Amino acid sequence: MNSVCKTLVMTCDPDMAQRVTGTLGKSPAFSTNGTCRSVAELAAALQRTEAPAAVVDIDPAPRGVLAELEKLSARFPRTRFVVLSDESSQDLLLAAMQAGARHLLRKDAVEQDLADVLGRLIQSDAAETPRGAIVTVLSASGGCGATTLAVNLAWELYERSGEATLLVDLDTAYGGAGACLGLEGTYGTADVLARNDGIDPELIASTSVQWHENLSVLLSPAGTDFSTSRAVDWSRMDMAMEACAVGNRFTVIDAPRVEMDQAACLAGHSLAVLLVFQLNVKDIRIASKAVAALIERGISGERIVPLANRFETRHNMVRLADAQRALGSVRVSTLRNEFRSAIRGLNFGQPLSQAAPRSHLRRDFQDLAGELHRQSEQVRLATARQS
């Protein structure tokens, strides 16, 4: 960094205030721009001067402070919030990320790590690399077509943008995306998340398997070693998602079998969350519960897109209108039923743009990619205006 980064501090603990200001005062790259005792005081200080960074002590009531911080981070998107707590559980980390914090740091690591954490955040912003869009694909049941959607959507987004696109395979049971494309590799998602050092775009790129020019796949543990598939360390997923977004214009995450807390973690980074289901009672019930669970975890319903796959205008025992009523306010979209085209793509390890380029299903994938591309451009334009 070429200039001093003025940082706001919020804590009601005088000892913690002294520790933070003392730590930052030892670095020539930082200076404190005032200490606040509450979120209201912090908001007023940011209103006067939108500091590039703020260190927020969320104890002794972390959930309450994070609820207030979520509103604050939306008002001041250019400020990077680092939160401090005695606790560092995965649940609290997820809540902090959903509230807009960029890092959760244990208080006993303030003197050792705070300056480095802030330095990485500010340097990342100074690079002025536009953040790419992430799209997460979830499923309401096995075999509903989520992986087929993820693979084809990644391809269509790549063709539309012509820029670096990444497909992340988080199917830890089967490695469906990698298997669909016939890809194999030695390293993948589990290796990225197991790194003790930082996770950056270069690490993501070097670990991924190239599919086609600027289109790559980050394989799941099942895709790198099926017989001894490793679990994914979700505590570092937020860092990995940020690296994916910085290094790629689009990142599509195939996550068909994740738990709801994990789905919410991915959704918190995503432009859109596509929830794939079929028009049957079981899938609709599960999809309805999944939508409610995501909203309960702070994900806006506007970002959730339930997709009724293999849709036919006739011969459906359950109507689309029935699914819409069950899913409430989120709008249900459809993907047409062209089973033979989809199977052809799977058998040949190709996207439908190659296996069945004139199929109606391919056209649906193109339309969906076009809408997501349009939304991402709007977000980029709004971000540029704020800068």
Q: What is the pLDDT of residues 268-280, one digit of tens each?
A: 999 999 999 999 9
* pLDDT range class, residue 2, cuts 50, 70, 90: very low
Q: With 80 as the cut, is the pLDDT of residue 198 above it?
A: no
Q: Does 3 score more than 60 pLDDT? A: no
Instruction: Write b or e for each residue in 283-310: b if 16 or more Cβ atoms lie within 10 A of its Cβ, otherwise e.
Output: bbebbbebbeebbebbbebebbbbbbbb
Residue with tokens 């690296």: 243
Q: What pLDDT shows up at residue 381?
A: 79
Q: How many CB atoms lie within 10 A of CB 379?
A: 13
Domains of the chain by start residue, with CATH: 5-126 (3.40.50.2300), 133-386 (3.40.50.300)
- Residues 316-358: pLDDT tens digits? 789 999 999 999 989 999 999 999 999 999 999 999 999 999 9
Helices assigned H by DSSP within the chain: 14-25, 39-48, 62-75, 90-98, 110-126, 146-161, 176-181, 189-194, 201-207, 221-224, 237-247, 260-267, 281-296, 320-327, 339-348, 352-355, 360-386
Average pLDDT score over residue span 171-193:
90
Helix (H, G, I), strand (E, B) or coil at 383: helix
DSSP class of 331 = P
CB 136 within 8 A of CB 273: yes
Amino acid at 381: L
Q: In what order do the strands lie in the sheet with 209-212?
A: 209-212, 215-218, 165-169, 250-254, 133-139, 272-278, 304-311, 333-336
Give the whole-angstrom CA distance, residue 213 versus residue 31: 44
pTM for the whole structure: 0.69
> pLDDT value at position 1?
39
Q: What number is the average pLDDT over the span 356-363? A: 96
Please state, rounded to an integer, the average pLDDT across all residues of the chain: 90
Distance CA 34, CA 26 (A): 16
**Range name among 54-63, 88-97, 367-376 with the lowest pLDDT average:** 88-97
Query: Residue length, the chain?
Result: 387
The amino acid present at 298, given as its one-letter code, is G
Question: What is the DSSP pairing of strand 165-169 with strand 215-218?
Answer: parallel
Per DSSP, helices labelled H in 33-88 are 39-48, 62-75
pLDDT, one tens digit per residue, over 224-251 is: 888 776 778 888 898 899 899 999 999 9
Q: d(Cα 134, Cα 268) in Å, to the nearest integer?
A: 10
pLDDT of residue 273: 97
Check residue 47 and give its pLDDT: 80
Distance CA 178, CA 30 (A): 45
